[in-house]
A = this chain, B = another copy of it.
Amino acid sequence: MIKAVKLKPNASPLEISQQDISNFLNAPDGILWVSLENSNDSEINSVLSNIFQFHHLTVEDCLSVGYQTPKVDDFGKYIFIIANAVKPNGGFKNLETIELNIFLGDNYIVTCFTDEHMPCVETTWQRLERDERMATRGVDFLCHAILDTLVDEYMPLLDQMDEEVEWLEDQVLANPKKETLERLLTLKHSVMSLRRVISPQREFINRLSRDEFPQVGKISRIYFRDIYDHLVRIQDLSESIRDIVSGAVDIYLNSTSLRLNEVMKALTVVSTIFLPLTFLAGVYGMNFKYFPELNWQFGYPILWGIFFIIVIGMLAFFKKRNWF
């Protein structure tokens, strides 16, 4: 689907058809936003290659399926941005990213994605009517608005992760199970995936906030700096989550080892008490003809006394060694 809109200060946004894009492109004033949504190959080719005549490598990047590393490339008359949004409603367990391509020229911006939905673009499109800054501030502000929304979408994910890690940390102390470990490892996995997506994004937002590109004005750079700060905070949070996860895995693994210790002690206590007793009982069950003790009158109660002394002695020994 191809949507296009012309924005002028003090005027309502004017939706225009695909055919009129080239006409409006060269208009002296106002800014043009062309949005290719859930777009197929022919749409991408007709708009990006034919109308805008973007470099064919960037068009191939828009077409290609599969993860692309976020980046910004300078092509002189325009800059080309690849950003990665999180898939809405995915949750952190199946962390998937969807690719957003942005071409930023002097008086136009082209956004392009092949997925069904890209909330950050749709939200910004709806703000066009309400927020007149969109028309007055130029395309760089518009670009900032889209990327800001895109970055904000990461926060709910991190909040979910934060809740999960706190619950898991409690679990690991109170009632560690194999499932707890698996959830910890899944979470660690997600956090590390997230970091790999965030890190190059932070990098290119940083470049946009410096004075590297003529398409980004001095005033807008402060706004990109603001996005950058958000991303730094997201990365800090994700590192903090990763640390707690690692700590929890440590406690978990140690609790397994401690439990083994406890079980072994119980086994050892029972075995070392009853093995000597059983031996003695076995001795007096022997059938030797000549066996003086068996004929003693108090042989049996005396043996119970010996049993008792052995048990007490053993327990004292274990107590001394701290095996209870």
Q: Is the CB of A57 within 8 A of B226?
A: yes
Bound: A283/B279 CA distance, A = 10
**A238-252 interface bits toward B, Cβ cutoff 8 Å, 1 = contact, 0 = none:** 011001100101110
Shortest beta-carbon contacts, A-B, top 5 = A281-B282, A284-B286, A274-B275, A267-B268, A285-B285
- Copies per assembly: 5
A67 beta carbon closer than 8 Å to chain B = yes
Which of chain B's residues have a CB closer than 8 A to the CB of A291?
A: 287, 300
How far apart sit A262 and B185, CA to CA, in the bound complex (Å)? 21
Q: List 13 A-B contacts (CB under 8 A).
A: A57-B223, A68-B229, A181-B254, A185-B247, A256-B257, A270-B275, A270-B276, A274-B279, A275-B275, A284-B287, A286-B294, A289-B294, A289-B299
Q: A67-B233, A263-B323, A270-B271 are in contact. Are A258 and B178 (CB under 8 A)?
A: yes
A239-B196, A254-B256, A281-B283 as given contacts; A189 in contact with B272, CB under 8 Å = no
Q: A301 — nearest CB in chain B belongs to which residue? A: B290
Residues of B within 8 A of A290 (CB): 296-300
Complex Cα distance, B243 from A288, in Å, reads 66
Chain B residue contacts of A268, Cβ below 8 A:
263-264, 266-267, 270
Instruction: Flag if A287 contacts B285 (CB, 8 Å).
Output: yes
Query: CA A239 – CA B188 in complex, angstroms?
Result: 15
Q: Is A232 an interface residue (CB 8 A)?
A: yes
